[in-house]
Amino acid sequence: MDLIKYNAARRALAEAHRVDEVKDIRDKAVAMQHYAKQARDHELIHYATEIRLRAEFRAGDLLQEMAANGQRAKGGEKGRRELQPATLDDLGITKTQSSRWQKKAAKFPESERDKYIGSKTAAAVAALDSGRQVHTGGFEWYTPLEYIEAARRVLGVIDLDPASCEVAQRTVRAKHFHSAKDDGLKHEWRGRVWLNPPYHRSLISDFVAKLLLDFEAGHISAAILLTHNTTDTDWFQQAARAAAAICFTNGRIRFADADGIPGGPPQGQAFLYFGPDPTKFAAVFGEIGFVTPAPYRLESAEVVGLRASA
């Protein structure tokens, strides 16, 4: 994406009046981001990241305008497309993307967007210089068995692994899983979920947002999310607020490649639990790292306090 193509993309976004047009520009920018990371192209990662973010803001604005003007169908509305408001399927976007982009557009007014975009593009360029590597998610690195077994002890069984592949399922053994080919973001998540999301900047926030949406909707009964402990990111902050408990690992998890060869991740990890039994999660994952809040410790303290007062 040279300067000419960058300027053309900026103009196309400014002139776009349909969400599907903006989504197409955004998807092309995402593809450019992935290529830029592999090629370690600083200029390309800067341009591609900026265009993706501007496209997401534009999509959020358009979605809000459509809702305000009655041009978007409410959940479940079907029928003849020429007579019905547009559905998300018509627009070519997922519920997760719609929610996330609208929230971002509402959170940042026009006057603040350039500053936000500048900080994010600078961070993307800095990530190339820092040599950060991807060690989590359903692409090339897989979670060791001991952590999957810990998750199984808490969840009972794993009904769904929405960001996975055939190789990972040798260990996870979920009842159902989605791979990159069938895109877990396009499906409803139900039951007990294990999520080790793809750790691409353009994907991880989408997967975390999807988890939170389906959990809040009551489709997910319990879930365990494994991520790097990037506590400074928006998606981690949102997930942490919704989690019943979090385990910060004692040491880094040595994820394995398809041949079982372990790799050294650049930072520590965290397990986030969503569900009705944080006490059980704390008891199991307390062997792996520091759990907060620690319900079983609180209960013990309360018992001691009650005995002392008696």
Final residue of a structural domain among 84, 101, 130: 130
pLDDT given for residue 308 in this prediction: 40
Predicted confidence (pLDDT) per residue in 57-99, tens digit? 999 999 988 888 876 655 444 444 444 556 777 777 888 888 8
- 273 is a domain residue: yes
Q: Are 103 and 163 contained in the same domain?
A: no
Q: Are 119 and 157 contained in the same domain?
A: no
Q: Are 123 and 192 contained in the same domain?
A: no
- 308 is a domain residue: no
More confident call, 33 vs 238: 238
Q: Are 126 and 149 contained in the same domain?
A: no
Q: Are 169 and 263 contained in the same domain?
A: yes
pLDDT given for residue 131 in this prediction: 47
What is the mean pLDDT of the segment spanning 273-299? 83
Q: Could you give the number of structural domains in the chain?
A: 2
Q: Are 172 and 236 contained in the same domain?
A: yes
Final residue of a structural domain among 130, 160, 195: 130
Give strand pairing partners of 88: none
Q: How many whole angstroms separate alpha carbon 23 and alpha carbon 98? A: 11
Q: Are 166 and 290 contained in the same domain?
A: yes
Question: Which CATH number characterizes residue 271's domain?
Answer: 3.40.50
* pLDDT for 265 beyond 70: no
Among the ranges given (36-50, 141-155, 182-196), the one the predictor scored with the smallest mean pLDDT: 36-50
Going by C-alpha positions, the residue among 126, 271, 134 that lies closest to residue 199 is 134
More confident call, 166 vs 139: 166
- 137 is a domain residue: no
- 123 is a domain residue: yes
Predicted confidence (pLDDT) per residue in 236-255, tens digit? 999 999 999 999 999 888 77
Predicted confidence (pLDDT) per residue in 21-31, tens digit? 989 898 888 88
Question: Which range marks the domain in which residue 218 is found?
Answer: 145-301
- 250 is a domain residue: yes
Q: Are 118 and 61 contained in the same domain?
A: yes
pLDDT given for residue 192 in this prediction: 98
pLDDT given for residue 236 in this prediction: 92
Q: Are 63 and 164 contained in the same domain?
A: no
* pLDDT for 274 beyond 50: yes
- 279 is a domain residue: yes
- Amino acid at position 244, single letter: A
Final residue of a structural domain among 71, 102, 130: 130
